[in-house]
């Protein structure tokens, strides 16, 4: 996999993945969609406030998600004002979740439309992906979310590269960190393709 490139003639962002790479990306994107949908930003129960009742369709959870990954994906907008933070979260988190899930879902759909079978059994499979600029931007956003999720689960911190590179190759944490770095590489290559 050589990363994403901008094809000038078609104004498309293109990449080629092995079957294994495409299947891994689909798995990561599927896990992201599941995480975002599993702990939904649900509207609160009945309310006496007529305006709040009217706006309940656009209303959701007002507290920080319990899952640390979701808490990182949806940080508190007003750390010094609990009421403003709760209101902001109530009216925005549901839409943000939908947008993040749609971006991850686009990765899945694109890979499957490009020929990735529902179950990978074939060796030597190659998947060519061509993205419009808008789709490439959605993939880039999904890569950001996937990297943030991996970093949170692994406990990655700024300046700790030596620790990760000191782990033996067979250590599952080292393998997960390799995936984190690979998704970062993909993310950077999309940015470069979009700006070239």
pLDDT of residue 85: 92
Nearest to 111 by CA among 135, 85, 134: 135
3-state secondary structure of 18: strand
pLDDT of residue 15: 96
Tokens linked to 101:
């899930």
* Alpha carbon distance 66, 88 (integer Å): 17
pLDDT of residue 120: 87
The answer, yes or no, to whether residue 43 has pLDDT greater than 50, is no
Nearest to 90 by CA among 69, 108, 76, 79: 76
Binned at pLDDT 50, 70 and 90, residue 176 comes out as very high
pLDDT of residue 59: 57
pLDDT of residue 46: 55
Question: What is residue 14's DSSP assignment?
Answer: E
CB–CB of 102/134 below 8 Å?
no
The answer for residues whose C-beta is within 8 angstroms of residue 112's C-beta and 6 or more apart is 26, 118
pLDDT of residue 49: 62
* Alpha carbon distance 26, 129 (integer Å): 13
| DSSP per residue, 91-160 | HHHHHHHHHHHHHHHHHHHHHHHTT--SS---TT-EEEEEE-HHHHHHHHHHHHHHHHHHHHHHT--TT-
* Alpha carbon distance 22, 138 (integer Å): 17
* Alpha carbon distance 4, 172 (integer Å): 27
Mean pLDDT over 146-156 rounds to 96
Tokens linked to 40:
């939904």
């Amino acid at each position: 996999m050589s990363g994403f490139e901008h094809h000038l003639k078609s104004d498309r962002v293109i990449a080629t993945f092995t079957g294994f790479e495409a299947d891994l990306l689909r798995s990561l994107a599927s896990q992201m969609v599941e995480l975002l949908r599993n702990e939904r930003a649900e509207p609160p129960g009945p309310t006496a406030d007529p305006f709040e009742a009217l706006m309940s369709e656009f209303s959701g959870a007002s507290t920080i998600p319990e899952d640390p990954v979701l808490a990182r994906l949806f940080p508190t907008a007003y750390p010094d004002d609990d009421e403003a933070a709760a209101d902001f979260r109530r009216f925005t988190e549901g839409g943000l979740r939908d947008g993040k899930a749609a971006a991850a879902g686009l990765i899945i759909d694109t890979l499957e439309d490009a020929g990735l079978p529902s179950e990978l059994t074939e060796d030597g499979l190659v998947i060519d992906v061509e993205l419009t600029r808008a789709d490439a931007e959605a993939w880039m956003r999904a890569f950001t979310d996937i990297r943030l999720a991996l970093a949170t689960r692994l406990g990655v911190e700024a300046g700790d590269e030596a620790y990760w590179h000191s782990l033996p190759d067979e250590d599952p944490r080292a393998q997960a960190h390799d995936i984190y770095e690979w998704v970062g590489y993909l993310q950077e290559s999309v940015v470069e393709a979009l700006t070239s």
